[in-house]
């Protein structure tokens, strides 16, 4: 422990040199920019910048690329809140309450709490990384395909909490999401499903085009109905979360930190699921779940904390085992390798100077992000004062670039437009969109992990219940389902007129 402390202090000394501080700052700035700009997600953004780091020394290069990664996690929030378009995938859920807050003139508070939550989540996750990285690295390995399957089933049954007031509508939307996610080559045999011979469909519908359509384009069509709305005024007081908003957010921030860090330890979960889990947990625990979707601050604070905490938690399997948890981390690992460093247990022994400098830079980076973003919150909120017509045209162009650039594909644009029209209609009919998105994320994970498990067991289904962790997670899923059924069923049978 004393040893760890010494290493960390040495790391701070190395990371706090003016050069490395500058790299951390450039990284945070570029990351925020990448998060805000359409068409460049954190994975592509980091990959594009790798060649630029060849001129730098390894420590500086990695500090900068890591800063880009968590900077992008924050940047994606800004567009979600302001124009209802997720700048990167992990900010989808923030659209729901974040944009609703913006419409109520609370964009500043939403962005402010996201910055603060991200800061707390990032710093606490890094503390945990320092203290318990090595013991926890075994946890990542204990989640094999059967456990992963069970975990995803737990996620799926939790969707009942996202359903809004009609459980049926919510579940129907989930099933639709799951079905859409099955379009493409089947994950085991490689057989095309529901592709109608269109090669662009072989990889399924792209997640970004779908959510940009459902949220961004759908929102534009909905607001086009009444375009002469007043410009949203944000006064200075609106930039700071109120005392009440603070109180409501603190619990969400701590829980988001825990959820993000824990899920970050399990490779393959990805950055989106933790945000959904945090949102669901907040809605479950809330005394007024019916307000979710109308712009409650917990719905922003929780998920935004979770995605930053996830970003730092996902460093654990990378640094201790050399296993990347997500595509962006894989790029980061590529950056390590191409600079002649092999992430994994040996790196701590061979280059402790570098590892600890990078870890220390996570702390510094999170502080820089806060300093960089809080003053900008007011500036971002001002964007909403631009006349509606220009925002509308700009947002649509933003969506076009964003959906197109992922795969340089015109086909993705058609997908986006189709989803935009569906999103618009669903909005008018008050069908919930979040369950559909969750189905979309969970579908491939569930099928792939189930069928890989069966490949492992040569078709024996007992693999799911004979492994203790998998069995307990499945039991938990059943318990949640029974609980949800009890909660919904009597109300709708006994008192159909209930609100």
* Contacts of another protein in 324-363 (CB under 8 A): 324, 327-328, 330-331, 334, 337-340, 342-347
C-alpha 468: how far from chain center: 29
Instruction: Enumerate residues 6+ apart whose C-beta is below 8 A from 465.
Output: 471, 474
Q: Does 175 bind another protein (CB under 8 A)?
A: yes
Question: Least distance (Å) from another protein to the CB of residue 227?
Answer: 6
Q: According to CB under 8 A, which residues from 78 to 107 bind another protein?
A: none
Closest by CA to 494, choosing from 287, 486, 289, is: 486
CB nearer to another protein: give 309 or 328.
Answer: 328
Kindly state the number of chain residues that form the binding site for another protein, as judged by CB under 8 A.
117
Q: What's the angle, vertex CA 434, arms to CA 296 and CA 400, rounded to 5? A: 100
Q: CB atoms < 10 A from the CB of 19, how many?
A: 12
Q: Does 134 bind another protein (CB under 8 A)?
A: no
Q: Does 430 bind another protein (CB under 8 A)?
A: yes
Q: Which stretch binds another protein (CB under 8 A): 33-41, 74-82, 298-306, 351-359?
A: 33-41
Question: Least distance (Å) from another protein to the CB of residue 431?
Answer: 7
> Contact letters (x/-) for another protein, 227-246, by CB under 8 A?
x-------------------
CB nearer to another protein: give 41 or 121.
Answer: 41
Question: Least distance (Å) from another protein to the CB of residue 461?
Answer: 7
Q: What's the angle, vertex CA 211, arms to CA 209 and CA 212, rounded to 5? A: 60
Quick one: which of 21, 57, 132, 187 contacts another protein (CB under 8 A)? Answer: 187
Beta bridge partners of 192: 185
Q: Per-residue DSSP letters for 16-50? A: TSHHHHHHHHHHHHHHHHHHHSTT--HHHHHHHHG
Question: Least distance (Å) from another protein to the CB of residue 242?
Answer: 29
User: What CA–CA distance (Å, rounded) separates 387 from 231?
Assistant: 7
Measure Cα distances from 436 to 41, 134, 169 in Å.
22, 37, 10
Quick one: which of 25, 74, 119, 143 contacts another protein (CB under 8 A)? Answer: 143
Beta bridge partners of 193: 184
Contact 426, 163 (CB under 8 A): no
- Helices and strands of the chain, counted as H and E runs: 23, 2
Question: Least distance (Å) from another protein to the CB of residue 165?
Answer: 3
CB nearer to another protein: give 124 or 440.
Answer: 440
Q: According to CB under 8 A, which residues from 52 to 71 bind another protein?
A: 54
Would you state the torsion angle of the CA atoms of residues 60, 61, 63, 65, taken in this order, to the nearest 10 degrees?
160
> Contact letters (x/-) for another protein, 374-403, by CB under 8 A?
-------------xxxx-xxx-xx--xx--
Question: Least distance (Å) from another protein to the CB of residue 16?
Answer: 27
Q: Does 224 bind another protein (CB under 8 A)?
A: yes
CB nearer to another protein: give 56 or 127.
Answer: 56
Q: Which stretch binds another protein (CB under 8 A): 120-128, 152-160, 189-197, 364-372?
A: 189-197
Q: Does 405 bind another protein (CB under 8 A)?
A: yes
The burial of 237, by beta-carbon neighbours within 10 Å (0-12 exposed, 13-18 middle, 19 or more buried), is given as exposed
Q: Which stretch binds another protein (CB under 8 A): 110-118, 181-189, 278-286, 375-383?
A: 181-189
Closest by CA to 71, choosing from 275, 354, 367, is: 367
Q: Per-residue DSSP letters for 399-418? A: HHHHHHHHHT-HHHHHHHHH
Quick one: which of 90, 93, 123, 220 contacts another protein (CB under 8 A)? Answer: 220
- Give residue for tokens 């712009």: 295
Q: Does 121 bind another protein (CB under 8 A)?
A: no
Q: Does 135 bind another protein (CB under 8 A)?
A: no
CB nearer to another protein: give 12 or 414.
Answer: 414
Beta bridge partners of 184: 193
Pairing of strands 192-193, 184-185: antiparallel
The burial of 491, by beta-carbon neighbours within 10 Å (0-12 exposed, 13-18 middle, 19 or more buried), is given as middle
Q: Which stretch binds another protein (CB under 8 A): 93-101, 154-162, 270-278, 424-432?
A: 424-432
Q: According to CB under 8 A, which residues from 477 to 496 bind another protein?
A: 492, 496
Quick one: which of 140, 370, 434, 441 contacts another protein (CB under 8 A)? Answer: 140
């Amino acid at each position: 422990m004393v040893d760890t402390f010494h290493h960390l202090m040495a790391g701070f000394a190395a990371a706090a040199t003016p050069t490395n501080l500058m790299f951390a700052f450039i990284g945070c700035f570029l990351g925020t920019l990448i998060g805000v700009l359409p068409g460049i997600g954190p994975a592509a953004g980091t990959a594009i910048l790798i060649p630029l780091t060849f001129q730098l020394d390894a420590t500086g290069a990695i500090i900068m690329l890591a800063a880009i990664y968590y900077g992008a996690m924050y940047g994606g929030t800004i567009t979600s809140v302001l124009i209802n378009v997720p700048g990167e995938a992990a900010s989808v859920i923030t659209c729901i309450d974040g944009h609703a807050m913006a419409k109520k003139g609370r964009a500043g508070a939403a962005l402010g709490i996201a910055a603060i939550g991200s800061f707390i989540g990032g710093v606490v996750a890094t503390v945990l990384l320092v203290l318990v990285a090595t013991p926890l690295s075994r946890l990542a390995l204990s989640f094999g395909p059967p456990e992963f399957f069970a975990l995803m089933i737990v996620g799926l049954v939790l969707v009942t909490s996202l359903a809004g007031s009609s459980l049926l509508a919510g579940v129907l939307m989930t099933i639709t999401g799951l079905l859409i996610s099955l379009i493409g080559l089947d994950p085991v045999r490689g057989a095309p499903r529901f592709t109608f011979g269109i090669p662009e469909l072989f990889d399924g519908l792209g997640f970004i085009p779908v959510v940009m359509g459902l949220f961004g384009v759908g929102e534009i069509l909905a607001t086009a109905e009444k375009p002469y709305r007043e410009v949203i005024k944000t006064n200075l007081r609106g930039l700071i979360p109120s005392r009440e908003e603070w109180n409501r957010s603190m619990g969400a921030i701590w829980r988001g930190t825990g959820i993000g860090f824990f899920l970050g330890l399990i490779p393959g979960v990805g950055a989106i699921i933790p945000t959904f889990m945090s949102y669901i947990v907040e809605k479950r625990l809330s005394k007024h779940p019916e307000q979710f979707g109308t712009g409650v601050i917990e719905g922003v604070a929780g998920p935004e904390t979770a995605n930053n905490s996830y970003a730092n938690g996902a460093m654990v399997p990378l640094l201790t085992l050399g296993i990347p948890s997500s595509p962006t981390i894989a790029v980061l690992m590529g950056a390590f390798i191409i600079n002649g460093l092999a992430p994994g247990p040996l790196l701590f022994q061979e280059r402790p100077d570098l590892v600890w400098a990078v870890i220390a830079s996570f702390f510094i980076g999170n502080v820089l992000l806060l300093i960089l973003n809080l003053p900008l919150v007011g500036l971002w909120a001002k964007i909403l004062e631009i006349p509606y017509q220009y925002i509308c045209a700009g947002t649509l162009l933003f969506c076009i670039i964003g959906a197109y650039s992922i795969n340089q594909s015109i086909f993705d644009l058609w997908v986006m437009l189709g989803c935009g029209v569906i999103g618009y209609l669903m909005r008018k009919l008050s069908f919930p969109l979040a369950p559909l998105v969750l189905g979309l994320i969970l579908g491939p994970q569930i099928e792939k992990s189930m069928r890989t498990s069966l490949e492992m067991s040569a078709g024996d289904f007992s693999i799911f219940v004979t492994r203790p962790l998998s069995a307990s997670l499945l039991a938990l899923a059943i318990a949640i389902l029974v609980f949800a059924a009890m909660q919904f069923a009597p109300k709708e049978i006994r008192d159909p007129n209930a609100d």
